Structure 1
Amino acid sequence: MLADLLVAVLAGPLVASGVAKLAAPTEKLSWPIRRGPLVAPHGPRLIGAAELIGAVLLIVVPGRLAALCGLVAYLALTIVAHALRGQRCACFGLARLASVGHTHVLGNAAGALLAAVALLLGPGSQTASRVVFAAAATALITCVLLVLDHGARTLDAAKEEQIVESMHAVYGVRLYTSESCPSCRALKKLVAGMEPARRDAVAETVLGPHDAPPASMAEMGVPCAQGLDAAGRPVGEPVSGIGSVKGLINSIVVTAHA
């Protein structure tokens, strides 16, 4: 009974992996094989079909022959995982897992070890029990994959959002005011009440009666301002008016600037 359980458990990952490869559009797979007969688009289909055939053999073949099939399959997967270390993982179709590494090699080696144990124990021919165990193993690994995939996609989305935010983050403000402008004087009082790090990130230029803001703000009235990135380059569109300028100053990334 224990040997049948081990053999059936080994079928679970093969079922999940085979179905995932066959169901996924090949053009969306990060397929790591670049040459030979197993390149995309046929490679994923062939390997997926082979995995499903291997899973069926593990369930229906009687006696030690089933364990031997599992041992051969997982030894082959261990060798392939070792050869593809560092490549993008497409083991389970479109699931966003880490690149092929030691975890993949050790996981497949553990499968080969379980198959060797089953071979020594000598499994019987309890096909019905194997089907139940294999289905449970497939469901379990599918749930684990869904959790890992969701976590990876969430992390990727957060990284992309962080990159976008950093591209538009304001680390400083170039402010243009005039001595004769009441709004400018009111804005200066507001800025004076802000925390020192934010005040220090504002570079003010007081325009004289015959001075004008830069060309990008030539049509704007004072106060007007331009946001700057961490390197001091303009970022975003310039703004004018006390409310818009104050909002731009409030958006300065204080901790990064400090």
Structure 2
Amino acid sequence: MSVLGDLLPQLALAVTAGPLAVAGAAKLITPPEKLSWPIRSGLLAPPFGPRLVGAGELAATAAVVLLPVRWAAAVALLAYAALTLVAVRSRGRKCACFGLARLAAVGRLHIGANVAAAVLAAIVLAVSSAGARPLPRGAATAAVAVTTLVVLLAVDRRRAAAQEAVPVCAEQVSAVRLYVADDCPSCRSLKHLLAAGEPERLAATTLVTVAREAELPGVLHGLGVPCAVGLDAAGEPVCTPVSGIGAVKGLVDSITLSTTTADARAH
């Protein structure tokens, strides 16, 4: 194979190493209690689960960069195949992939990115020669650094877009009526998030369980679950209804606690 032919598979593997490096480091430096971690039982449950997965991702990064090309491609293929399986099973739940850079719920884009990385690794594994060596250390470091920077910028952009997408209610919200469905993964994830919040706001949130495909009443018509509407002190709707994990969580967080409750919390 020509020099260029050897170089392209090596650069392709370096590209797959970047996201693994970002994800692994984020899980190791982020306190487990602050992660929206989807696994609640077994070896990979918090607080040790995120640390184990993060360490595994960093180990895979090192293997992809340091091992001969075919071995590196095999490691990348296994890593992204496993991440694809987890993404498919976690579809609809909030992503904890990049630590506190909380993205939207896992969807087709997330799954597709993992599949694309796995396919790229499989192609490199198929076309590379058995004796192909890894990139020189400096070139590999530079390639991974560039890819890591691109991933960080994309994550930050998505986080900023998600924050801007959450509408702000200018009126006082005294309570929230939240609509969920039993077979809705996003609804289950949202319930976990709310359960970890302030009890007073949880108490001011009324859950209404509906069929996932049911038409929602009144101003909620056309929205999907989970969705919610803010209520004033008289129980009347205020502001525009919201849908999605982030927007609903933001609405619940905007509930104004009573003076008595606030004073009790202060003491």
For the superposition of Structure 1 and Structure 2, which TM-score range results when normalised by the shorter chain?
Answer: 0.5 to 0.7
Show the counterpart of 1:153: 163
Give the superposition deviation at 1:16. 0.5
- Two-structure CA RMSD over aligned residues (Å): 2.2
Show the counterpart of 1:108: 114
Give the superposition deviation at 1:232. 9.7
Larger radius of gyration: 1
Show the counterpart of 2:229: none
Q: How many residues align?
A: 170
Matched-pair contact (CA < 8 Å) for 2:87–2:106? yes
Task: Check if 1:24 corresponds to 2:30.
Answer: yes
Gaps of 5+ in 1: 169-228, 236-258
Give the residue type in structure 1 aligned to 2:134.
S
Task: Check if 1:126 corresponds to 2:142.
Answer: no
Could you report, residue by residue, the CA deviation over 1:51-92 in whole angstroms, capped at 9, with x for unpaired residues? Answer: 000000000001311111111111111111111112221011
Show the counterpart of 1:135: 145
Task: Check if 1:64 corresponds to 2:87.
Answer: no
- Alpha-carbon distance in structure 2 between the residues aligned to 1:6 and 1:231: 60
Q: Which of the numbers 73, 84, 95 marks the counterpart of 1:78?
A: 84
Question: TM-score, normalising length from structure 1?
Answer: 0.61
Gaps of 5+ in 2: 1-6, 175-231, 239-267
4+ residue segments displaced more than 4 Å: 229-233
Give the superposition deviation at 1:125. 2.2
Give the superposition deviation at 1:230. 11
Correspondences of 1:1-258 after superposition (within 5 Å): 1-122=7-128, 124-128=133-137, 129-156=139-166, 159=167, 161-162=168-169, 164-165=170-171, 167=173
- Alpha-carbon distance in structure 2 between the residues aligned to 1:232 and 1:91: 38
- Alpha-carbon distance in structure 2 between the residues aligned to 1:147 and 1:101: 17
Question: TM-score, normalising length from structure 2?
Answer: 0.59
- Alpha-carbon distance in structure 2 between the residues aligned to 1:37 and 1:167: 41
Give the superposition deviation at 1:152. 1.6
Q: Percent identity?
A: 44
Give the superposition deviation at 1:46. 0.6
